[in-house]
Amino acid sequence: MFSLITVAVLSVVAMLLAWNWQKNHVNAGIVDVVWAYGMMFSGVFYALTGAGPLIIRLSLGLLTFGWFLRLGIHLQRRVLSEPEDGRYQAMRKAMKEQANSGFLVFFLLQAGFVWLLSLPFWAVAQNMQPQPALVIAALILAGLSLYGETTADQQLAKFKSKPEHRGLSCRSGWWRYSRHPNYFFEWLHWFAYPLLGWGSAYHYELWLAPIALFCFLYFLTGIPFTEQQALRSRGEDYRKYQQATSKFFLWWPKSEPF
């Protein structure tokens, strides 16, 4: 219970500091950076304070540290080197003079998401009867997911770095098979936690983690906002991309309409 309260309090404090930073820099994208580092901290913290044997806590700590550190660094570089993400610009424009108070609520909600989505880490850390074969399978799955998301981010960054691609959609690499391969691999990695936690008192509940994340990414905070911004910035090119390319899951593309 102490560890759960600690993560909740620190998440709120971190998001309040991030909200104050965005007031001074007019860049709400910092919320994503703090979210990623908050998830990293919570995973490592639960691994250090959990009751499970060393093998399960070490696996959990390495997985969460490696995954969310990479994500945090990637997002941090983008936030510090680029203008505010178009999604947040649209939110700022819509809220007008209420932007700061609106973002305060939004940042605090993200603190709640850190706590909620880190609950699987806590449950895994309490697993007293880990299954060695499933632990190995979880780490392999996490490694493949990390490779997929890292290469997808690199492919997109390389595409966007060329001025002639401005206003166009990336259709190379993983982006040929999914409009959101980074989200797909993010979701895929969450299946590692039910595998790590199998044998614990919560092993059935842990399967709710990838289900919940799919709902967040597909229906709420991920794809809908990203697609709206893509349509604003890339217009007809993105509409053709939508018609030809799978929305989330990796799949062979259709022929694009003329």
* pLDDT band per the 50, 70, 90 thresholds, residue 86: confident
For the whole model, what pTM was predicted? 0.92
174, amino acid identity: W
pLDDT-derived band at 258 (thresholds 50, 70, 90) equals: low
The residue-averaged pLDDT of 135-155 equals 96
Q: Residue 122 and residue 57: Cα distance in Å, rounded? A: 10
Higher pLDDT, 234 or 255: 234
Residues 26, 191: Cα–Cα separation, whole Å: 36
Q: What percent of the chain has pLDDT over 90?
A: 91
State yes or no: pLDDT of 235 exceeds 70. yes
179 compared with 222, residue with greater pLDDT: 179
Mean pLDDT of all residues in 79-108: 93
Which among 148, 125, 175 has a CA at the least distance from the CA of 71? 148
Dihedral class, residue 249 (left if φ above 0, else alpha if ψ from -120 to 50, else beta): beta
Confidence class of residue 221 from pLDDT cuts 50, 70 and 90?
confident
Please determine, for residue 131, whether its predicted confidence score (pLDDT) is greater than 90: yes
Average pLDDT of the residues in 210-228: 92
